[in-house]
Amino acid sequence: MSGKAPSVDAKKLWGGGFSPFNVSYGKIMMWFFLVSDAFSFSGLLVSYGFMRHRFEEVWPVAEDVFTHFPFLHGDHPLLYVAFMTFILIMSSVTMVLAVEAGHRMNKKGVVVWMTWTIVGGLIFVGSQAWEWYHFIHGTELGALQLADGSIVQWLSDAKDGLLLTNGTEVTGADAAAMIQAGTEVYGANLTVNEYGVPLFANFFFFITGFHGTHVFSGVVINFVILVNVLKGTYEKRGHYEMVEKVGLYWHFVDLVWVFVFTFFYLI
């Protein structure tokens, strides 16, 4: 056998006829899309980091902002968002189990696991809506916007004293004059934010909104694919690669949340 080149799997060659990546066209395109989408999210999170560094002293601490938990009173920082994270991780697991069932041509398994994935996605989107509602609505006490536009917090429920951002407490006649000149604000929107700078609210709405849009479209796409599975489209086709492709998208959404969770709520 001298002089003969070692045999190479034809699928690994670049010569044409086969994908040298051993990945189908559709899956490669999904990966390209995800990489470019990752660029967008990275840009958003990096600009968030920059602005947060720039306005460090007036930036709200997420722990003080997101303290609600459904049906529970009092302060529960991080708990609800931890629950949301858990739901999204769980739905990633059910998604990958659906893909695995697809590899075995197990239609029933794909249906069951995809349904759970959709349920998880809906719970997550609902949770986000709930959190937005509380953020926009604000606290019962609200805050005071001074004449110069900066936000200060009330010292107590009586609303006769103020806590400045540098930690100084103002009471008595000084406080009364500042209250007279300022306006009471509640909740957060794009121009005013009772927790601190409006920029925090802008980034919060944009980044979690952009991510939430991804989750929502993921739920819709998952639903469309589930209908196809039920109709037996992929059974007839002989493979469940479409489930794999939406699975990639769904895991990406989970992946982005891992970073949003860290940068918005933990750090």
Q: How far is the CB of 59 from another protein (least distance, A)?
A: 14
Angstrom distances, CA of residue 200 to CA of 20, 121, 204: 46, 26, 6
Torsion over CA of 107, 112, 116 and 119, rounded to 10 degrees?
A: 90
**In angstroms, rounded to a whole number, what is the distance separating the alpha carbons of residues 231 and 249?**
22
Cβ closest to another protein, residue 177 vs residue 266: 266
Q: How far is the CB of 234 from another protein (least distance, A)?
A: 10
Q: How far is the CB of 178 from another protein (least distance, A)?
A: 22
Closest CA to 215 of 255, 266, 263, 265: 255
CB 27 within 8 A of CB 99: no
Residues 6+ apart with CB under 8 A from 10: 17, 18
Q: Using CB under 8 A as the criterion, which residues of the chain lie in contact with another protein when the complex forms? A: 12, 18-28, 31, 35, 38-39, 42-43, 46, 49-50, 53-54, 63, 77-79, 82, 85-86, 89-90, 92-93, 95-97, 100-101, 103-105, 237-239, 241, 247-248, 251-252, 254-255, 258-259, 261-262, 265-267
Q: Which residue has the tokens 């249906």?
A: 111
**DSSP per residue over 28-64, as a string?**
HHHHHHHHHHHHHHHHHHHHHHHHHHHTGGGPPPHHH
Cβ closest to another protein, residue 9 vs residue 157: 9
Cβ closest to another protein, residue 154 vs residue 265: 265
CB 126 within 8 A of CB 133: no
Cβ closest to another protein, residue 147 vs residue 258: 258
Q: How far is the CB of 265 from another protein (least distance, A)?
A: 8
Torsion over CA of 208, 210, 216 and 218, rounded to 10 degrees?
A: -120
Cβ closest to another protein, residue 42 vs residue 213: 42
Cβ closest to another protein, residue 39 vs residue 133: 39
Q: How far is the CB of 92 from another protein (least distance, A)?
A: 6
Residue 83: count other Cβ atoms within 10 Å of its Cβ: 15
Q: How far is the CB of 76 from another protein (least distance, A)?
A: 10
